[in-house]
Structure 1
């Protein structure tokens, strides 16, 4: 096998690595990673490894994914000493989770055109001489909010989506009610990030994640089971149908970000590599032509300006920021009850109040949150009296 290795058409030069040794490819927003196209290895943290790509079957009638295997070169070591490129497996996977190399690692495998695709090693296939390893294609980047004491951190990681073997029509009816009934599974590598997934016997308190195409109302799921030992080195999540909540869940169609329970706390979620608070010296104020707004009247122009600690207007420095406008009456959210229109400038907005005379004389409180480089700045409240 060793002598004829290079002559085999199945032999490929692959790259193996864990989550922390992945090479990220960011777009102009700095958050989107490349899954397959464009991966190069001139300067990489990944480890080169020789393997044969084996297809066990080309179609399946009763499973959601046919099986693919990798077989490493016979001379490839599976245990590593200090100084080896893959020594981190001994401490991070074998010692901590009891895993066996290479379970839980990502591997980049080239196709017939030489384009590398990301896979995850899921199981070993024992053999007397030449053991093989089951691999599955990585097909989704899961995003979620991690709660750690008083911190809430935005997380994202490539994973493998799996379907349950039992298929349903999507609803279940007991003696009294009919409710949605759909299940799915997600397989991720086990590491210091994914080990924090959890669930309880109270569905209302379980973690929620979004697994969906990028839409305004994506499909949301509840984590109902975490399996960390069915295959040591993997975190297997079982998901159950939930509902999208426009008040707590966050979707950005431009950047592709989707987070369940994003607004579930007063503490804003942050990326682990970014500061948790904006510069305290920057303030934001909203201005309008008058301090009143007519019920059922025309649009009113609003302008948000930002100032530094010297009270100098620095709004032009936030031309690429995101301005999110909200309003309320007596602490009741009215953001979706009024009509908004874009202003002529990036820091301007137009608002029109509906013809609801029951609130005449009350105060409409307008706020704006400006986010740049993941740092939110909340404006001062602009009070507008509702008049006829």
Structure 2
């Protein structure tokens, strides 16, 4: 009789604390929708019950604040999960889980509202991901001066879930993050963190100059035209322009030689770049040309065409990109 009584008591828990926790979980679950903080949320288009809890308030002198999200007892989701939460008028907004508390009961998640769609290009493939744009304190005038140049000096940060797309983001990669489609602001990745906590990736950026020769402001994708120079064709041709290394020319660099083997003489034509922006040397009665780009950093990313002719017959043509030193 006593043993049966003990077994009956243990159905609620092996000790008093466990029994109280189970009772609290049961009360929380049964009264969950009666709270004013209750929201019918969606995760991966599936309805999820949650409580949207305010624990701090927004100020224009600070960054956007996080809010707490509490699910029913025993329901958990990993950091980096998107959650659709309705606002006070029932309009759904997408939020990102960026943290989780370690409370013994009624675990709460930190969520931030997604406020920007980030776009970038890797190996010709365009990636995009919704995320959270964060401000960073920058105690300077916004520009840096040295003896030779003046460059913008500012920084910002964004948070995205860690996945197969965001893992392609690397150092020195550039982004266009701006609400100005006329003169957009460009940024370059200077720091990447993906373990604090695991599930989200924090990207820190420093301001860079917008380059119309490389950046697409209509699509708001930086370096969109960077790899537009075609690779050399693998097909065998009778005449082909040859050079050392890659065909690119460095802005302000030295002369680079281009030639057509298997022919004694040819004429050359350069199109797509103003004549004032380059210098050439063409040895008399030869198959060579030497080209040098002037020191004008606005030319970085521009592409021009070098063509070789025998009389009126085109022998070969290549695209040449102007790159930084």
Q: TM-score band (shorter)?
A: 0.5 to 0.7
- Residues 267/47 of structure 1: CA separation in 2 closer, same or farther (3 Å cut): farther
- Structure with bigger RCO (C-alpha 8 Å, 6+ apart): 1
Give the RMSD, CA atoms, in angstroms. Answer: 2.3
How many angstroms does 1:196 deviate by?
Answer: 1.1
Residue aligning to 2:167: 195
The question of whether the paired residues in 2 share the 8 Å contact of 1:123 and 1:134 is answered with yes
Relative to structure 1, the CA distance from residue 175 to residue 333 in structure 2 (aligned partners, 3 Å threshold; closer, same or farther) is closer
Look up the match of 2:227.
265
Question: Which digits, 9 at most, give the CA deviation of each residue in 1:101-153, with x for residues without a partner?
Answer: 32001100001111101111101122121111110010011111122xxxx11
Name which of 75, 78, 88 aligns with 1:102.
78
Please show how residues 330-349 of structure 1 align to structure 2 within 5 Å: 330-333=270-273
Q: Distance in 1 between matches of 2:139 and 2:111?
A: 24
1:243 to 193, 200, 209: 209
User: Are residues 103 and 251 of structure 1, via their aligned partners in 2, closer, same or farther at CA, if it must alter by over 3 Å?
Assistant: same
Query: Equivalent residue of 2:105, what SS?
Result: coil
- Which residue pairs with 1:225 in the alignment? 191
Q: Specify whether residues 61 and 117 from structure 1 end up closer, same or farther in structure 2 by C-alpha distance, changes over 3 A only.
A: closer
**Which stretches in structure 1 are left out of the alignment for 5+ residues?**
18-45, 79-100, 200-205, 269-328, 335-364, 366-380, 382-388
SS in 1 for 2:195: coil
Query: Contact conserved, 2:152 with 2:209, CA < 8 A, in 1?
Result: no
Shift of 1:169: 2.6
Gap regions ≥5 residues in structure 2: 1-27, 231-268, 275-304, 306-316, 318-325
Shift of 1:214: 4.1
1:63–1:165 contact (8 Å) kept in structure 2: no
1:58 correspondence with 2:34: no
2:130 to 158, 167, 175: 158
Mapping of 1:11-50 within 5 angstroms?
11-17=38-44, 46-50=45-49
In the alignment, what sits opposite 1:116? 92
SS at 1:2 equivalent: helix
Rounded Cα–Cα distance in structure 2 between residues aligned with 1:120 and 1:222: 23
Local SS of the residue matching 2:192: strand
Query: Aligned residue pairs: how many?
Result: 211
Instruction: Determine the C-alpha separation between the residues in 1 that align with 2:103 and 2:61.
Output: 26
TM-fit CA distance, 1:237: 0.6
User: Whole-Å Cα distance in 2 between the matches of residues 267 and 236 of structure 1?
Assistant: 32
Matches within 5 A, 1:206-221: 206-221=172-187
CA contact (8 A) 2:138 2:154 kept: no
Q: CA deviation at 1:57?
A: 1.5
After superposition, the C-alpha distances for 1:163-202 in whole angstroms (9 at most, x for unaligned) are 1144433123467765321000011110011111111xxx
Question: 2 CA distance for matches of 1:67 and 1:47?
Answer: 23
Residue 47 of structure 1: how far off its partner (Å): 2.2
Q: Post-superposition shift, 1:60?
A: 3.9
1:74 matched residue in structure 2: 73
Structure 1 distance, partners of 2:72, 2:43, is: 14
